[in-house]
Amino acid sequence: MSDIASQTNGVNINSEISPWLTPLAYFLFGNLVLPIFFGRIQINGQEHLPSEGAVIFAPTHRSRWDPILLAYAAGRTVTGRDLRYMVLLNQTKGIQGWFVRRLGGFPVDRDRPTTSSIRYSIELLENQKVLVLFPEGHIIEGNKIDQIQPGVARIALQAVSNQSDLSLKIVPVSIYYQHPAPPPMGCKVWVNIGTPLNVREYQDDSIKKATRQLTNDLKESLKNLHQPPSELL
């Protein structure tokens, strides 16, 4: 179930794709939970989804529903590919953590960060996996795209630096709720998938400049995607 693992400073980081729990979760959420809870889910831009190669999905973060909606819009039932998520450490503990770790989640300790989660993220990309990183860092109130953390760009640039033939795309994704988070039952939601950013196009610059430029371009892409639908105006 766990095909990649990393151990740094005695900390073991790994994620699993359970052969029985994952398809069950996709079926239940895709056919029952999401259609019942949300009034409508509209997905735009699925033609932008890469069918192969290393991918980082960089979605907006407004609700705990975000990872589930992203899997629904871009996961195995759409692309045939499973998603790996970097999640907060406390989300990988207890009963919740048991499920999270078997559905592709692996921990990062935001209060006491180490290199383990970063190295594991890079290993996933080097192995042509699909990684989900929330560039805003945590759940944001309101719909304004304000601060984008440089972590996504740093991980991406390090991965292509480590592996000369690695094709890596960053896909910006807006998840826009009709009502502010937490979304109430019956809320409409729009998932807008943007044009991928080719990380190799940023390699000619110094690492500092490349990180800044890639982060800025990702921010602009998210701002353009994360606009209120016409029916809400």
Alpha-carbon distance 62 to 141, whole Å? 6
In this structure, what DSSP letter does residue 185 have? T
Per the document, the length of the chain is 233
Taking the CB of residue 127, how many other CB atoms lie within 10 A of it?
12
Q: Is the pLDDT of residue 1 over 50?
A: no
Burial class (CB in 10 A: 0-12, 13-18, 19+), 66: buried
12 band by pLDDT with thresholds 50, 70 and 90: low
Residues 191-202 as b/e (b if ≥16 CB within 10 A, e otherwise) read: bbbbebbebeeb
For the segment 222-231, the average pLDDT, to the nearest whole number, is: 95
For the segment 169-187, the average pLDDT, to the nearest whole number, is: 94
For the segment 43-57, the average pLDDT, to the nearest whole number, is: 97
Work out whether the CA dihedral 147, 143, 67, 139 comes out positive or negative.
positive
Per-residue confidence (pLDDT) for residue 9, from 0 to 100: 42
Q: What percent of the chain has pLDDT over 90?
A: 79
CA 160 to chain centre: 18
Per-residue confidence (pLDDT) for residue 140, from 0 to 100: 93
**Residues in contact with 59: Cβ distance below 8 Å, sequence separation at least 6, in sequence order:** 66, 70, 132, 134, 172, 173, 174, 175
Q: Is the pLDDT of residue 204 over 70?
A: yes
8 band by pLDDT with thresholds 50, 70 and 90: very low
| The model's pTM | 0.94
Instruction: Judge whether 187 and 178 are in contact, CB under 8 Å.
Output: yes
Instruction: Judge whether 78 and 49 are in contact, CB under 8 Å.
Output: yes
Work out whether the CA dihedral 122, 126, 127, 131 comes out positive or negative.
positive
CA terminus-to-terminus distance, the chain? 46
5 band by pLDDT with thresholds 50, 70 and 90: low
For the segment 202-221, the average pLDDT, to the nearest whole number, is: 94
Of the given ranges (40-44, 109-113, 133-137, 165-169), which has the lowest mean pLDDT?
A: 109-113
Q: How many CA atoms lie within 13 A of 66 on its CB side?
A: 27
Q: Span 5-228: which CATH code?
A: 3.40.1130.10
Q: What percent of the chain has pLDDT over 70?
A: 94
Which of 73, 74, 59, 75 lies closest to 22, judged by CA? 75
Per-residue confidence (pLDDT) for residue 112, from 0 to 100: 74
Per-residue confidence (pLDDT) for residue 10, from 0 to 100: 43
Q: Is the pLDDT of residue 124 over 70?
A: yes
**Mean pLDDT, the chain, integer:** 92
Alpha-carbon distance 120 to 105, whole Å? 12
Retrieve residue 124's tokens. Answer: 């996933």
Residue 148, phi-psi category: left (phi > 0), alpha (psi -120 to 50), beta (remainder): beta
